[in-house]
């Protein structure tokens, strides 16, 4: 079955270009120039991934991303015309999975789509459910529960937390985490990992000064500690 991708961008010419180009890679592309129409469609028909422009006059991409994240964890790639670090930070804090500054090479977008879709579907059916202390992990359903309650995690957040849990007690550098989660070079903006960890701590109600789950190893990276420390 073809992966379904929604493109929400007020640039109609770009939408046509992306629809034609991405269709050649086997994706089913539906485009929207009006973000409200895109959100309405998502309520009725969930895509496998959303490509979302930040700079739209009627409703900016950050607002659209926020609205999507209220209900869904589907992967989101932000297109940022300015490519500014501030835009990237805001997008990641809102739960976007990746970002791509405009103008971009369509082949790079394809590579990022492939990486995210591969990551979101990889081998989950062969992975066993886990219980560690107050956490319950269901890889096939992409659900992690804390004290019996579902954590509201984006695809990227789930994969990051699951990665840390799988390597419990081992220190993962930012590069380790980036390589495992993306397969693309985020080295120019490695604060993205710090933002991701900060979001996980917030959702886990984890105090970085006295952590129960994720410990910062200064000068090295992060590790999942559970209740061992």
Q: What is the pLDDT of residue 179?
A: 75
Residue that finishes a domain, picked among 121, 138, 163: 121
Residue that finishes a domain, picked among 121, 147, 182: 121
Residue that finishes a domain, picked among 121, 139, 156: 121
On whether both 96 and 32 belong to a single domain, the answer is: yes
On whether both 16 and 100 belong to a single domain, the answer is: yes
On whether both 21 and 115 belong to a single domain, the answer is: yes
In a domain, 229, yes or no: no
Read off the pLDDT of residues 149-185 as tens digits, 9 standing for 90 and up.
999 888 778 888 999 998 888 999 888 887 777 644 4
Q: What is the CATH number of the domain that holds 135?
A: 1.10.10.10
Which regions of the chain are under pLDDT 50? 123-125, 183-185, 187-188, 228-229
On whether both 114 and 135 belong to a single domain, the answer is: no
Q: What is the pLDDT of residue 124?
A: 46
Domain with 85 in it? 4-121
CA distances in angstroms from 176 to 4, 6, 77, 193, 208, listed in the order given: 30, 30, 21, 10, 20
Q: What is the pLDDT of residue 122?
A: 56
CA distances in angstroms from 3 to 15, 56, 117, 119, listed in the order given: 17, 25, 8, 14
On whether both 130 and 91 belong to a single domain, the answer is: no
> Residue 35's closest CA among 63, 8, 13, 53?
8
Cβ atoms 3, 28 nearer than 8 A:
yes
In a domain, 60, yes or no: yes
On whether both 10 and 79 belong to a single domain, the answer is: yes
CA distances in angstroms from 43 to 40, 69, 116, 148, listed in the order given: 5, 12, 22, 26
CB neighbourhood size of 44 (10 A): 6
On whether both 56 and 106 belong to a single domain, the answer is: yes
Q: What is the pLDDT of residue 185?
A: 46
pTM listed for this prediction = 0.66
> CA-to-CA distance for 69 and 185, rounded, in angstroms?
25
On whether both 110 and 133 belong to a single domain, the answer is: no
Q: What's the structural domain count of the chain?
A: 2
């Amino acid at each position: 079955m073809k992966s379904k991708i929604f493109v929400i961008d007020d640039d109609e010419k770009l939408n046509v270009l992306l629809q034609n180009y991405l269709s050649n890679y086997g994706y089913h592309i539906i485009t929207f120039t009006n973000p409200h129409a895109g959100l309405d469609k998502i309520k009725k028909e969930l895509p496998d991934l959303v490509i979302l422009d930040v700079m739209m006059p009627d409703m900016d991409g950050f607002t659209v991303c926020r609205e999507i994240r209220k209900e869904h964890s589907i992967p989101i790639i932000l297109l940022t015309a300015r490519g500014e670090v501030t835009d990237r930070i805001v997008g990641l804090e809102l739960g976007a999975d990746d970002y791509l500054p405009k103008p971009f090479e369509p082949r790079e977008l394809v590579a990022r789509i492939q990486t995210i879709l591969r990551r979101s579907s990889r081998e989950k059916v062969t992975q066993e459910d886990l219980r560690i202390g107050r956490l319950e992990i269901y890889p096939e359903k992409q659900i992690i529960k804390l004290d019996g309650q579902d954590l509201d995690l984006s695809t990227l957040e789930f994969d990051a937390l699951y990665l840390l849990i799988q390597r419990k007690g081992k220190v993962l550098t930012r590069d380790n985490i980036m390589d495992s989660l993306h397969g693309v070079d985020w080295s120019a903006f490695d604060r993205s990992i710090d933002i991701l960890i900060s979001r996980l701590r917030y959702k886990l109600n984890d105090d970085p000064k006295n952590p129960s789950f994720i410990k910062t190893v200064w000068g090295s990276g992060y590790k999942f500690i559970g209740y061992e420390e």
